[in-house]
A and B are shown apart, each in its own frame.
Chain A
Amino acid sequence: MKYLFATILAVLVAASLFTRSLNPAVRSSVPILYWVTDSNPAREVQVSTFQRWLQKHDYPRFDLRLDMVNVASDKIVIQGVSGVCADIIGHCGGANMTYRQAVGILEDVTERALELGFDPSQTYEAMGPEITIDGRQYAFPCNVYVHLLWVSRDTFTQYGLPCPSRRWTFEEFEDLGKRFCAAANRPDEPRRHFLVPYLSTQQMHRSLGLSQYNETLTACILDDPRMVRVLELYYKWTYEDHILPTLAERDSFATESGYGGSTIQLFNSGNYALFPCGRYGLIQLRTFQKNRREKGMPRLDLDVVEFPHGGFPNAATGTRAAAVYKGGNHRDLAVYFLAYLASEDYNMNIVRDADALPPNPKYTLTQAYLRPLAMLPDLTAYFPYGKEELRRNVAEFAPEFYTVTDTVDRDQPIAAADLPAPPCPLRMDQPAYRRALAEFRREYDELMADCRTEWGCHEMFSERAQDIAIPYSTSPFILNTEASRIINKATEEFLSDRCSAPEAVRAMQEGVNAEIAQNLREDPKKQPLYDRLCVAQARLDALRAQGRKVPLDLIQNPFHRRYYQVMGWAE
């Protein structure tokens, strides 16, 4: 028996050594870094462009690999504090960044950002709270999103209804919603068509001039008649007017298929007339255009409008950003990736693939952004390139192709035949190549026609990012996940008829403020900052009570900073 055990031990040791030898870091001659990010087909292209960018600028060589399975927020934190996190951490929204910075796993990149040119001045002003804390930079945007409503004009035309105007009020929303649902649904059947799958209550109460937190982010102030109105409106639109689906109806629709989930699929099928999303919705919408074309259906006729408002139009903005892991072995190399995010190569990549807005707003002024032609389709579908040929084409032909498509005059007729042609594969004769080329050009002409349906939509995102977009307010005294959980729970209790709207908003405010108090007890080091901000809040309240203007530097809440400026209450 003992020999059997010893043999098993030996086999296990050998297997461990063999497994170790398979580790890419052992086999590679250059350092390997990992980028933990969401699962998106665009990431592969972004990584390959990064390698070329490193080479072009003669920066140190290293390999960057994607980690798309460890993207869950709690996983990142646990791995981070355990010392085994990816070198580059992707995260959505400033709230995630705040939490991870509070845990201490993010590298302060302020100085390197100035040195390598990815400091906050390289992106939208609204992104300040999303990438910096107390003036120190911890991340840089991979992209910037502004949530608006995509419109399928055909869906409205089909029922003889006008499309919503680009800026509209709650009353107009309700009126159009009732008319749409009455026209699109049969009265004797369960509803299958709705105006929009959901609205953001935060955007709604902000449009009434109410934020989740006070001006100094020291307290939740949702126990307010405006929040009661928002909840009651939401309830009315969901259960009485039924222009929004109930949670059960949304669950019924949840096919969970494809990138972007079921909602966008249902927008494509006309079940939702409006689809709340950023510009990145185009990643999926473009595939729908192709599918519709192939099925002989008309293309989606797209437009974009703002969310309905109650007097103060606003849009939620945020960023999918990248930060450097403080415990990584290659922090010095990882910052190059953040520098790459500020580069023209990367920004134009985002411009073309429509993965939200490019980090640097100047690229939204280009023709390539405002009136895109089309991305290069998968060349191997037409040309049987070998592996090495394909790599060379991606490296050489794609940039050459995009140099032309990015700058060609959109006011003149453009045909694929006028654009650079992909090179002939080595194992393809000339007649076959000509046939493949004709096929490629026919498809590219169709893709360009698909993209023309988007013209006029792109500027909505870039312009709203500059005028009405405000990041979500997060308090340094409470985790956003915890605040959201408390608020969502109270909202669900109200929507489940477990409590009234005033009781729900009271529960929200009391719950969040109790959590803030608990956090201050647990982390007394935050108390001086809290006290200082409370003094500022008292001063601010006194000034407001006297009807006087308030110095802007007293205000921490990004919503109030914008709101006070627009209302003329700030000095």
Chain B
Amino acid sequence: MGKPLSRERRNTLLGLAFLSPNILGFLAFTVIPLVFSFFLAFTNWDLKLHNAFKNEPIQFAFLSNFLRLLRDGEFYQYLGNTLFLMMNIPLAIAGSLGAALLLSKDMRGGSPRVRHWLIVSAALLLSVAALCLVGLHAGAFVILLSGLAGLMLFGGVLGGSTLYRTVFFIPHFTSGVAVFILWKKLYNPSNGPVNNALARPLLALGRAINATPPGVIRAGLAVSLALAVALALWGLTRLLRMSRDGALGTAAAALPLAMLLAPCVAMALCCPHRPVGRVVGLLTLAVALGLIIAECLRGRDFPARPSQGFGDAFMLALLLMLAQLILLGLGSVAYGLPEQAADGLEPPAWLSVYDWAKPAIMIMGLWGAIGSNNMLLYLAGLSNIPAELYEAADIDGASRFQRFWHITWPQLAPVTFFIFIMSVIGGLQGGFEMARTMTNGGPAGSTTTLSYFIYTQGFSTGRLGYASGIAWVLFAMVFTVTLFNWKFGSRYVND
């Protein structure tokens, strides 16, 4: 007879026994494949050559998969696509925050605000009825949307913000593939509701543009360039001030400065009015260089470690870079508008044309992201802001915007930072389902993301080793973002 097990030991074993299905599943479907794929990334494993029906030995390929990846032009194109699609992250965050702010208010009851909502609802419902009576065929989508909006407003008045929260959260728990197929139908160039709704306004806009002197419209480019330059210089002065105050180290400033000034290079190279773009871009770069040299000669007021303040500077530069790029894009659109509108403006063919396929997917992503977990996180964050802060602000006579800017936004900083990091990670890993369901990665590879590239390399060509290599490079990117979070996250949000 062996010694009976102690109660503690027995409980441990029993607990492990109950946990074993989960542990086994985790090992079988997560840990082992993960380790296996790491091993694969350093081999020449090719499904055509190495499988149960073939006797070819698998060879250790050292770093050849990674070296090949660095030489593969398609990898950079698809990485570019992935990063491009991630440009809607700031908009998605702003949308989530906006939604959360709206949904944090209780709209039920008989307050004056509710009465306003009721009036708007009634007006919408009446307009829907009027549109139905007029029988606008192409406006069917507008009718549908107006009707839905009216219903939601009315329902919200009755059911309160719970109804809105549920409605906003619907995209998140709806099956991805079903949503993508639905959006594909919405984007149908001729019969899709989106283009049906856009056709008439664009026709009117085209007429208005044609009636306006082209120079006035094209001046939009000058305005956008000016704003972009202003943003770049403002950002630069902020970074230099941080450096002077000892909040930004020399090494930490390099990348943010490069990111901040990168749009000026883009301006010089890609501006639709090449001479103006070149002059403005180069001039801005020269001024920026001058300011940086002057600051270097002047020296710091306070000392700083070389890596000091990288997180703050990086976030600032990233946001400003995105804003500048968006401005440049809008300016380019304005510059080309008179020519495009010459024969009337038509809605885009969305997923079928190279230039619109990515924006179409971004719009869809934005729709899904606004009412996602991000909104719930913001709602939770909003509920955690102490009411005394708002009371104090009210006593001080703060306006609504001041309340938001000086209390809500800083208090939500940890949530925003977390959402941003998670969105970047999700963005780097995402795009597979959309590409597979909606576009097959086309046209001309414009919607192929890294995750879809991994799939095609792994399963269409059978190169499992190479596909694993790409997957681990993607992991390295995600890991870098996570490291960034770990290193700078707490500091950034506590500032």
A contact set with B: CB distance below 8 Å: 2, 5, 74, 77-78, 81, 83, 99, 102-105, 190, 246-254, 326-327, 479, 481-482, 485, 488-490, 492-493, 495-496, 498, 522-523, 525
Contact = CB atoms under 8 A, between A and B. Distances in A.
B354 A489 contact: no
A81 B351 contact: no
Given A190-B190, A252-B191, A83 B18 contact: no
A523 B51 contact: no
Nearest to A2: B14
Contacts of B191: 252
B353 interface: yes
B349 interface: yes
A294 B354 CA distance: 44
Nearest to A83: B52
A304 B189 CA distance: 31
B353 A77 contact: no
Interface in B442-480: 442-445, 456, 459-463
B400 interface: no
B46 interface: yes
Contact of A481 (B47, B54, B351, B460): B460
Nearest to B346: A190
Nearest to B77: A489
Given A77-B459, A248-B349, A326-B53, A523 B48 contact: yes
Contacts of A103: 47-48, 51, 53-54, 462
Given A247-B443, A249-B190, A492-B444, 14 more contacts: A5-B18, A74-B459, A81-B53, A83-B52, A103-B53, A103-B462, A251-B188, A252-B189, A252-B190, A253-B190, A327-B52, A479-B461, A481-B461, A496-B443
B44 interface: yes
A270 to B, nearest CB: 17
Contacts, number: 95
A354 to B, nearest CB: 30
Contacts of A190: 190
22 contacts: A5-B18, A77-B47, A77-B462, A81-B52, A103-B47, A103-B51, A103-B53, A103-B54, A104-B53, A248-B352, A251-B189, A251-B351, A251-B352, A252-B192, A479-B48, A482-B461, A485-B456, A488-B442, A489-B445, A492-B444, A495-B443, A496-B354
Interface of B: 14, 18, 44, 46-49, 51-54, 56, 188-192, 349, 351-355, 442-445, 456, 459-463
B49 A523 contact: yes
Contacts of B189: 248-249, 251-252
A490 B354 CA distance: 12
A226 B52 CA distance: 44
A327 B51 CA distance: 12
Nearest to B191: A252
B450 to A, nearest CB: 16
A74 B460 contact: yes
Contacts of A522: 44, 46, 49, 463
Nearest to A492: B444
B444 A496 contact: yes
Contacts of A250: 352
Contacts of A246: 349, 352
Nearest to B64: A521
B48 A482 contact: no
A248 B46 contact: no
Nearest to B461: A482
A492 B354 CA distance: 9
A108 to B, nearest CB: 11
A489 B190 CA distance: 24
